[in-house]
Chains A and B, each alone.
Chain A
Amino acid sequence: DAKTTQPPSMDCAEGRAANLPCNHSTISGNEYVYWYRQIHSQGPQYIIHGLKNNETNEMASLIITEDRKSSTLILPHATLRDTAVYYCIVRGFNDYKLSFGAGTTVTVRA
């Protein structure tokens, strides 16, 4: 019952911005967009989340389209340590079920 669609993989050059797309065309008004990443053989790590406004923190920026049907996670200056699987999740504020899709495998190349 995946609510999001992400490309299976993408490459990025070290030092350049990495733009990770996510489609969530069935998102409802009270659902947030969350991003996590999983470095090989570790537990996933929270990156950022947003409802409708763009958000920025020390790790990344989240751009959500005006119709909220898609979003982009931006890693402004990718490093080799950003190589990971990135998961985009849609979740209601009071929705306890937390399901992940397959994510996007991002490889940062020197």
Chain B
Amino acid sequence: EDKVVQSPLSLVVHEGDTVTLNCSYEVTNFRSLLWYKQEKKAPTFLFMLTSSGIEKKSGRLSSILDKKELFSILNITATQTGDSAVYLCAVLMEYGNKLVFGAGTILRVKS
């Protein structure tokens, strides 16, 4: 069965800290790995990773994919209270365009 596992399940840090969120996967036909941020409502897109070893950056957030070891990390530097959210990792399947999600990491940034 296709599976995406995120760790840690939850995390509490102080403003200014750097955090690393992990995502490992075992799927039958991988196309891409996506990261989403979910605050109160709709998951919002952060990154899509298709190739190994190429870091994607957006401000204080960055992410990289390792297709040999089947994992990805999401880094957030200089965290702010506005980074508090659930971070979701999902694998986009090669056939059918469906996403297989991990359970998410709940991040709380304390001021």
Co-assembled chains A and B:
no
Residues of A within 8 A of B (CB): none
Residues of B within 8 A of A (CB): none
